[in-house]
Amino acid sequence: MSSSDRRTFLITGAAVALSGCGFTPVYAPGGSAEGLRGSISIDDPRDAAGFALVRQLESRLGLPQNPQYTLSATISLAEDELGITPDQEITRFNLRGTVRFALVDNATGQTVLRDAVSSFTSYSATGTPFATQTAEADARDRLMIILADQLVARLLATSPDWRQ
């Protein structure tokens, strides 16, 4: 059996196995993401990190048209010093972030999901103070994108449990 035939056989076998176990892609018709776009309003952000998080969440979830749910999020950021030169100068930082969130059903006022996502990113501090501040802001924006994507993935994965 040639390698392309083997790949075709394995892919076909995997597709049959997944369809047999009830697997449905999230974005497929009837998937857990169906009808979720535009149904979640997000609390107003309080700072730059919050604005970056909300921007990414709205790009993934859509702007609320007729929101059935409200998402509130609390962002915690911490910085770790990583690279230290022999002269005791810090050249690299890790930026760790956690977003604790709650999803409330607007019709009942009940919290249907409460969870948290965490990640980190790094930036270099080897340039001028302005370059370091710019690198830190970029790292914060990248971290908010990562956290928003994780949050959306969590919403999609758990939506069969809390959607009406």
- pTM value is 0.80
Mean pLDDT computed over 36-63? 94
**Helix H or strand E segment including 50:** helix 48-61
More reliable by pLDDT, 8 or 86: 86
Residue ranges, CATH 3.30.160.150, the chain:
35-162
Task: Quick: pLDDT tens for 111-140.
Answer: 999 999 999 999 998 878 999 999 999 999
Task: Quick: pLDDT tens for 50-97.
Answer: 999 999 999 999 999 889 999 999 999 999 998 888 888 888 999 999
Q: For domain 35-162, give the fold.
A: Double Stranded RNA Binding Domain (3.30.160)
Count of alpha carbons within 13 angstroms of residue 110, beta-carbon side:
6
